[in-house]
Amino acid sequence: MKKGEKWITKNTDALFEAILKLENLDEARRFFRDLMAEKEIAEFSNRWKAARMLDQKIPYVAIAKETGLSSTTIARVQKWLTGDLGGYRTIISRIHHHDSIRSRRGLS
């Protein structure tokens, strides 16, 4: 285990494995609602929105206004967006790729 990866445990891996079993949006909604409080879901969705907005080069002030996140949280999301793990970047790239394919096929 690398430095700073103490959060990676059998329990967290089991959670991620469970998430990978979700087959559609309805299942994801139901699973995450059972797993977390509505406020927690809203917080995570706002962080995800901030990552997408940062990717579009939208200023922190506009992101804070739109999401209600603090500038500190937005800065943290920016750090993770450009960081070594690349979690946000991976998914944003996949979404852009998927949307590009749909657009070329006339599906969007």
Q: Are residue 24 and residue 67 in the same domain, yes or no?
A: no
Number of domains composing the chain: 2
Q: Are residue 107 and residue 88 in the same domain, yes or no?
A: yes
Q: Are residue 19 and residue 48 in the same domain, yes or no?
A: no
Between 82 and 105, the higher pLDDT residue: 82
Q: At what angle do helices 71-81 and 87-104 cross, to 10 degrees?
A: 70
DSSP 8-state class, residue 24: S
Q: Are residue 22 and residue 56 in the same domain, yes or no?
A: no
Q: Are residue 26 and residue 47 in the same domain, yes or no?
A: no
Domain that holds residue 17: 1-35
Contact (Cβ atoms closer than 8 angstroms) between residue 87 and residue 80: yes
Q: Are residue 55 and residue 106 in the same domain, yes or no?
A: yes
Q: Looking at the predicted structure, is the pLDDT value of residue 50 above 70?
A: yes
Q: Are residue 19 and residue 52 in the same domain, yes or no?
A: no
Q: Are residue 54 and residue 97 in the same domain, yes or no?
A: yes
Buried b (16+ CB within 10 A) or exposed e, 70-94: eeebbeebbebbeeeeeebeeebee
Q: Are residue 14 and residue 44 in the same domain, yes or no?
A: no
Q: Looking at the predicted structure, is the pLDDT value of residue 108 above 60?
A: no
Instruction: List the alpha helices (DSSP H) in the chain.
Output: 10-20, 25-35, 38-55, 60-67, 71-81, 87-104
**The pLDDT value given to residue 97:** 80
3-state SS assignment for residue 15: helix
pLDDT band of 100, cuts 50, 70, 90: low
Q: Are residue 29 and residue 51 in the same domain, yes or no?
A: no
pLDDT band of 55, cuts 50, 70, 90: very high
Residue of 92, 108, 11, 35 whose CA lies nearest to 27: 35
Q: Are residue 29 and residue 49 in the same domain, yes or no?
A: no
